[in-house]
Amino acid sequence: MTIRAPRFAPTCLASLLAVFAIGAAQADEVQVAVAANFTAPIQAIAADFEKDTGHKLVAAYGATGQFYTQIKNGAPFEVFLSADDTTPEKLEKEGDTVKGSRFTYAIGTLALWSAKEGYVDAKGEVLKNNEYQHLSIANPKAAPYGLAATQVLEKLKLTETTKAKIVEGQNITQAYQFVSTGNAELGFVALSQIFKDGKVSSGSAWIVPASMHDPIKQDAVILNKGKDNAAAKALVEYLKGPKAAAVIKSYGYQL
């Protein structure tokens, strides 16, 4: 028996090609500046976003303060996922964003963490015991989680005690790396870096009460360079949806 390949009439084939062309035209790419603490969640969200919308997400990761400078200097970012709400608001007031696009996509949680099991107790008393040599934090001038860490130390009256012990990372990723590699016995990190599926995934941690520092409201905004990009608009809407919300919550953020 001979199996013949199906034949398409010229008009049918032309219609199919037109459909494919429309799909390709609709698919776009969005350049996103992502706060370092949100690295793992956005990587998980990106896979679903690309599958569900056809758009491609290209992310760069870093400190919020550094991204502000880059955006002001003309960096090609189209969407900004900040680690605070003040920086996007500032960009908005300065006319660098699409009006009405800013919203809070997550509320972050700070954690005191050690890569060693049992090193950090559930109430953070290890800070007061003062038996460690190095305490890692992110740069408080550039990273909101670093600023929150300094507020916690101030509230505990440990600012002076810990001054000589602090190892400062450029962003929250570097602060985490100092602890994970053993260069610091403990450090303040984003809970999202050590939290998965409802629990701390490694080491030991104190989840810092939100009342001990200013709220870490993380805002997203479409920048002017993304004004006419369908993928930028699609990403912002996707972040507000149920699939993204489930991923964000799984990393310890509040909504």
The whole-angstrom separation of Cα 169 and Cα 177 is: 9
pLDDT (tens digit, 9 = 90+) per residue, 30-43?
Answer: 999 999 999 999 99
For the segment 39-54, the average pLDDT, to the nearest whole number, is 96
Can you state the angle between helices 172-180 and 144-155, rounded to 10 degrees? Answer: 70
CA distances 53 to 46, 184, 226, Å, are: 10, 42, 17
Question: Per-residue pLDDT for 21 more than 80?
Answer: no
> What domains can be seen in the chain, in order of their start residue?
28-107+216-250 (3.40.190.10), 109-212 (3.40.190.10)
Global pTM value: 0.80
118-144 pLDDT tens trace: 999 999 999 999 899 999 999 999 899
Instruction: Considering only residues 241 and 4, tell me which one the structure prediction assigns the higher pLDDT.
Output: 241
* CA distances in angstroms from 62 to 42, 133, 161, listed in the order given: 13, 27, 29
Q: Are strands 103-108 and 216-222 parallel, antiparallel or unpaired?
A: antiparallel
